[in-house]
Structure 1
Amino acid sequence: MTTHDGKPFNREMLESLVRRRCFYLPSFEPYGGVKGLYDYGAPLCGIQTNVVNEWRKHFVKREKMFELDCSVLTPYDVLKTSGHVDRFIDWMCKDPKTGELLRADHLVEDVLEARLNGDKEARGEKVETQEEPAKKKKKAKAMNVKLDDELKKEYEEILAKIDGYNGEELGLLITKHRIKNGDNEVLPPVEYNLMFSTTLGASGPAFLRPETAQAQFLNFASLLEQNQNEMPFASASVGKSYRNEISPRSGLLRVREFLMGEIEMYVDPEGGKKHPRFEEIKDVELAMLDRHTQTAGKTDVRKIAIGKAVADGIVDNETLGYFLVRIQQFMAKIGVDQSKLRFRQHMANEMAHYAADCWDAELLTSYGWIECVGCADRSAYDLTVHMKKTGAALLVRETRKQPLHIEEWQATLDRKKAGPKFKKDGKAIEAAVDALTQEMREKLSLDLEREGKITLEVPEISAGSVELEKELIKIEKATRIENTREYIPNVIEPSFGFGRILYSLLEHSFWTRPDDAARSILSFQPSIAPTKVLLVPLSKNTDFDPLVKRLDYKLSDLGIEAKVDASSVSIGKRYSRNDGMGTPLGITVDFQSIKDATFTLRDRDTTKQVRASEAEILQAVLNLVHERETWADVQARLPAFEGQEVD
């Protein structure tokens, strides 16, 4: 992988930088740390807050969504009903010699990638890998395998489809390709539920939520009422979720506690799930990797307009397509490198059991392509199962514009006669009559007319069936007028993993000065940078203090985060170390400022400076932070300034 200026990306330099600047640290480090848990320092807290604020503006405010903040603790019955207790799993292998627990798909992926890379190295080809030392050691012996063209092709096809294998298939791959954990054989894959269990009170079983979605679904009736019972509409939630990962790795990319942002867009299943603003974005192109390409063992991405993708059936519906475009626009807004963004469709055997279609927004990092946003059509699954379990009316009732005339077979049991005759079996028989399908009612009507009686299957009674004569039941065709329509909405769900997005932003923003590879820069967008402006007095001369304080107060009043660096090192070094914090702008206070109240404004990426009055500088800062102007615009209208930045 390369940086935006074409240089090879150096993960070690980035990790050194974020460690020194306290972007994030292992949790409980004095006790040895805990895998998959990290603490965010002030810089990353600031970036996260700004990214979430941009997310709220881009989605919640722009799309008029209802935001919820729901409980993290979730009762057992809720997640049993949703399917998480039975299906929220990964496949785990155990190394019986060391006791190490390994995620099966990661083990297969790591070993096959190592063999392919080892084959490339043997042929003198350059291999770009940036593995952790422990992982390098574990994979070293896996690389000593000679590959012919057929085996290389097979490995590449397996890796292209790695997300779609179930436990049995992973076990077969491990056996067939003699995949080991270093020198050690591993046991066959077994299911591992990813949820953290706990209790509510003294005995009530519960979990820490693995997602924010279920609580949103359970609030559907209240949300619908809040929206004046009108469809479509959306809810949204930002909050922590928890997944007990088997073997966390890759820093912030696979953790056990993380911040999510989830949207549930409730749509009418009739009419193809169209979106009222789809016409606005239909010509936007996305880099797409569809399921058919992956099934063929390939990873070729093609650019396609979302309108064509929906029309051709590549993307299931307009609302799903609309959100894919909005996700791409959000990623561009916060500074994601668009050449390192693709949308990958889930393969048929990879999709959740309820999903009609699902796409992942993946970002390219030094760890490979990483899923950062999932966008799924969850159909009506969640509302349906919760309504069935609880009896809550998680549906839409609306008056039809025109009454609907429905011709149907009606079966009516004479309760006055059936009650005394069947006694305790009466309710079961009545329920069996009500449950008859239209097809069965038509068939039984012919039997009733021909034989004067019918035989009805009733598994709940001891006899298993019952005979009903003409005087007990009537089956006839009739017209029913329906003025009200009832339906369970379908749900389109974009689900964001903010931690993964933040880490990808760190990599996408990182580069070094062409003339000094030791000078690291993080080129954050001004809108998400933790500090927008560095205030730099030229020296420790106390005459600068009133001007610095005044600028600091005025920037604060404008809602712009500023930091003062009045340390004794050179002004160039002060700017340099704050370039590594991602601070986009710098204002220098010098002796000329004392004379005429003019100041210099410096751009982080170009290091170019302009000089103007206090009012003009503050206006330029405001425009840049709120993206009303670019640095090129500022340079074009304010006088250039040379000098002062001395290492």
Structure 2
Amino acid sequence: MTKEFDRAVFESTLTKRFFYVPSFSIYGGVAGLYDYGPIGSVLQQNLINIWRKHFVIEEDMLEMDGAIITPSEVLKTSGHVEKFTDYMCRDVKTNEVFRADHLVEGILEMRIEESKLAKQAASGEGAGAEKAKKGGKGKVPKGAVVLSEEVEKKYEEILAQIDNFNGDQLGEIIKEYEIRNPATNNEVTEPVAFNLMFDSSIGPTGNLKGYLRPETAQAQFVNFQRLYEFNNKKMPFASAMVGKSFRNEISPRAGLLRVREFTMAEIEHYVDPLKKDHPKYEEVKEIHLNFLPAEVQESGSSTTVSMSIGEAVEKKIVNNQTLGYFLGRIYLFLAKIGIDETRLRFRQHMSNEMAHYATDCWDAEIKSSYGWVECVGCADRSAYDLTAHSRRTGVNLCAQEELEIPIVYDALVCVFNKRLFGPKFKQNAKKIQEALEALPQEQLAEIKKELDSAGKCSASLGLPEPVEITSDLLTIEMQNFKKSVREYTPNVIEPSFGIGRILYSLLEHSYYTRPDDASRTVFAFNPQISPIKCLVLPLLTGPAFSASLNHITKTLRSAGVAARIDDASSASIGRRYARNDELGIPFAITIDQLTVSENLVTLRERDSCQQIRANVDTIINIVIDIVNGKSSWEDVLKSHPTLSSDS
């Protein structure tokens, strides 16, 4: 396998073989929108199917589906209308738009790289020296500046904390370090907040404002009570949902990594806030992950720390067992689909970048040619969402726990004189009553004191004017209660998966070119996720070959194994192998004269190019077993000798 990654060749292969392409490309395309072709769409679906088995089925989750168009009131309550923003700046002359943090990040990374090449060119050593000798394409950029150690260190500190800066701080960095549009060298404007949601109107009148959902989570939260009842009111439990989400990205770039329409897979694990341990925690506690804690980033470093999940939880680097458990399960899922574990880290959110709903959050970041990219977020959303929706709607979104030993306590309660209270406050009576009943014990004690001493009091209860209440309308009494049921608002641990980002990372991690021929590109998908599992190649044509071809493909497909036929006899067998290696097909069955005479076929494995020969049905069963995870190619070679390898 070649070591140097050529993104231009990689992307050309993806386009040529129609993995995915820009949407509406014959009209010029639209930034941030993509269409998946036959390979890309099946690869995505296989990824989702493995995700569903790994999480929904193995963890006994409740899967649901929800509406894409979401009323404005829901997203106001969740905080998205006010806070779902990124910072944007513009070229002062061309009006070209940039996401501010990405602009700063790109410019500083470019300056560090150019400085490195310039130093190498000056010393006569390294890649910079080679590029200087060659000149032309790939040479050291004209005007590259050698940075002092102090400046380079400052740049690296800024990059380590780039996600932690607010708009004002980004503006200061842009001014201090003269960050400009790299294409025009023009100055850019001060960063301003830009809401990322696509707004719309529901119905013909336009009176009901809505948005395309920015996440699938809210549909799950508003249905919590129904999910809880479906689960027989047992806690903890999890709901899950896969579907499209939409974000009006400021400057969508980097292919599938930053798009405006994308597929998400989200889990909402509801847990008692006093019991955040997990019954299956022991299964993952010994897994070692590469952690990048917030305090390390805030010190200006990006150095990861390798430790077990158990140690991270014990040291409170990871907040609780349930959060740690899901970090472990996320790691196992990504490894299962083929993500390179050496290019995976778990980065903790710093204080300023923490979402408005989160108390702790870790991102599974995967390294590609674009750098480290967040592909999975795992947040402790506390009780934020359920509490907010319950307050806004008046619907109880709580769970209950039967207490073994009842709790006996005294509490102040409001006793209303309904005969006088209603006529006094008229249409506001219900609102005032509910506001008084919702007051904490401390405030009720203050009101009771005033009523007892002065016979009246003035209270601010969310109305335009303070409300005057007299002792003939309301008395506040201390009453004794015995509570056998504890009611609480569950906390939520949320793993959120960006399917497109994971898919792109998988494509890069699976891609290589043959050592003896750099023009022969290969995608090394594992058999479980590969869109097409087996290629069937007849070397000759005729009724006898057609019968074997039909038997093999029908048997494979009936077993759920996707098979592709390449019967273009005008092309050599090597050429046919090569063009299907580009599709990531792990196995190829070749039908030749021995198939007709002795019922034998050859089976080729994609990456090693090793081949074995055996009876048709034996080979079919080998492929089915490997695809279903019951066997491996290494297991097969123990009982089947190899033939000479093809190239």
- The answer, yes or no, to whether TM exceeds 0.5 is yes
* 1:92 and 1:190 in contact (8 A); partners too: yes
Question: 2: CA distance between counterparts of 1:208 and 1:367?
Answer: 28
1:110 corresponds to:
106
2:251 — aligned with what? 247
Picking from 42, 61, 70, the partner of 1:65 is 61
User: Which secondary structure does the structure 1 equivalent of 2:638 belong to?
Assistant: helix
TM-score by length of 1: 0.91
SS in 2 for 1:602: strand
Aligned to 2:552: 551
Give the corresponding residue for 1:374. Answer: 377
1:230 aligned to which of 227, 234, 253 = 234
Other-structure match for 2:610? 608
Residue 432 of structure 1: how far off its partner (Å) = 6.8
Paired with 1:545 and 1:282, the residues of 2 have a C-alpha distance of: 54
Look up the match of 2:572.
Answer: 570
Determine what percentage of the aligned residue pairs are the same residue: 48
**Aligned residue type for 1:292:** E
CA distance in structure 2 between the aligned counterparts of 1:467 and 1:586, rounded to whole angstroms: 84
Q: What do the CA deviations read for 1:172-202 (whole angstroms, capped 9, x no partner)?
A: 1111111111321111111111111111111
After the TM superposition, which residues 288-437 of structure 1 pair with which residues of structure 2 at under 5 Å, given as runs? 288-408=291-411, 410-413=412-415, 415=417, 419=421, 434-437=437-440
Residue 10 (structure 2) pairs with residue 14 (structure 1)? yes
For 1:498, give the aligned amino acid. Answer: I
1:278 aligned partner: 281
Q: Is the 8 A contact 1:428 1:458 kept in 2?
A: no
Change (3 A) 1:462 1:46: closer
Find 1:193's aligned residue among 166, 174, 195.
195
Structure 1 residue 22: deviation in Å? 1.0
C-alpha contact (below 8 Å) 2:377/2:497 kept by paired residues: yes
Deviation at 1:463, TM superposition (A): 8.9
RMSD: 2.6
Q: Is the contact made by 1:455 and 1:465 (CA closer than 8 Å) also made in structure 2?
A: no
Q: Matched residues in 1 for 2:435 and 2:79: separation? A: 28
1:91 touches 1:189 (CA, 8 Å); kept in 2?
yes
Determine the C-alpha separation between the residues in 1 that align with 2:242 and 2:399: 26
Question: Which residue of structure 1 lines up, in the alignment, with residue 133 of structure 2?
Answer: none
Determine if contact 1:400/1:484 at 8 Å carries over to the other structure.
yes
- In structure 2, the residue matched to 1:25 is 21
* Cα distance change on mapping 1:548 and 1:173 into 2, 3 Å: same
How far apart, CA to CA, are the structure 2 residues paired with 1:609 and 1:417? Answer: 92
Offset at 1:96?
2.4
> Structure 1 residues 617 and 473, CA, compared in 2 at 3 Å: closer, same or farther?
same
The CA distance in 2 between the partners of 1:317 and 1:405, in whole Å, is 31
**CA distance in 2: counterparts of 1:431 and 1:584, whole angstroms:** 65
Consecutive unaligned residues of structure 1, counting only runs of 5 or more, are 129-135
Q: Describe the superposition over 1:425-463 as per-residue Cα deviations: whole angstroms up to 9, x where unpaired.
A: 9878866754553345556777888xx447634136999
- Of the structure 1 ranges 535-544 and 217-226, higher mean CA displacement relative to structure 2 is found in 535-544
CA separation of 1:469/1:516 partners in 2, compared to 1, >3 Å: closer, same or farther?
closer
Contact 2:421 2:473 survives alignment (8 Å) = no
CA distance, structure 2, for counterparts of residue 421 and residue 192 of structure 1: 48
Amino acid at match of 1:356: T
Task: Give the equivalent residue in structure 2 for 1:532.
Answer: 533
Gap change, CA 1:631 and 1:98, over 3 Å in 2: same
**CA distance in 2 between partners of 1:49 and 1:416 (Å):** 60
What SS is found at the alignment partner of 1:406? Answer: strand
Q: 1:418 to 1:301 in 2, by over 3 A?
A: same
SS at match of 1:245: coil
Equivalent residue number for residue 133 of structure 1: none
Cα offset for 1:228? Answer: 0.8
1:195–1:210 contact (8 Å) kept in structure 2: yes
Q: Quote the residue 1:581 is aligned against.
A: 583
* Cα pair 2:313 2:319 within 8 Å, conserved: yes
SS of 1:266 mapped into structure 2? strand
Aligned to 1:206: 210
SS at match of 1:314: coil
* Aligned position for 2:160: 160
Structure 2: segments with no counterpart, 5+ residues = 121-125, 130-136
Retained in 2: the 8 A contact 1:383–1:488? yes
Q: Is the contact between residue 523 and residue 582 of structure 1 (CA under 8 Å) also seen in structure 2? A: yes
- Residue in 2 that maps onto 1:82: 78
Distance 1:436 1:246 in 2: 43
Instruction: Specify whether residues 117 and 454 from structure 1 end up closer, same or farther in structure 2 by C-alpha distance, changes over 3 A only.
Output: farther
- The 3-state SS of whatever aligns with 2:114 is helix
State the alpha-carbon separation in 2 of the partners of residues 71 and 374 from structure 1: 22
| 1:432 to 1:221, Cα distance in 2 relative to 1, 3 A | closer
SS in 2 for 1:188: coil
Q: Does 1:149 align with 2:149?
A: yes
Cα offset, 1:306, TM superposition: 0.8
Q: How many Å separate the matches in 2 of 1:388 and 1:321?
A: 30
Q: Give the length in aligned residue pairs.
A: 627
Shift, 1:563, TM fit:
0.7
Q: 1:529 to 1:416 in 2, by over 3 A?
A: closer
* Distance in structure 1 (CA, Å) of the matches to 2:65 and 2:190: 41
In the superposition, relative to structure 1, how do residues 258 and 426 fare at CA in structure 2: closer, same or farther (>3 Å)? closer
Amino acid at match of 1:595: S
**Contact 1:363 1:370 (C-alpha < 8 Å) held by counterparts:** yes
Structure 2 CA distance for aligned equivalents of residues 440 and 41 of structure 1: 63
Correspondence 1:433-448 to 2 at 5 A:
434-440=437-443
Contact 1:418 1:472 in 2 (8 A): no
The separation in 2 between residues aligned to 1:420 and 1:563, in whole angstroms, is 76
Q: Which residue of 1 aligns with 2:134?
A: none
In structure 1, what is the Cα distance between the partners aligned to 2:538 and 2:502? 35
Matched, 1:170 2:170: yes
Amino acid across the alignment from 1:39: D
DSSP 3-state at the match of 2:105: helix
User: Does the residue aligned with 1:113 lie in a helix, a strand or coil?
Assistant: helix
How far apart are residue 326 of structure 1 and its match?
A: 0.5
Equivalent in the alignment of 1:595: 597
Measured at CA, do residues 416 and 366 of structure 1 come closer, stay the same or move farther in structure 2, by a change above 3 Å? closer
Q: Would you say 1:512 and 2:513 are equivalent positions?
A: yes
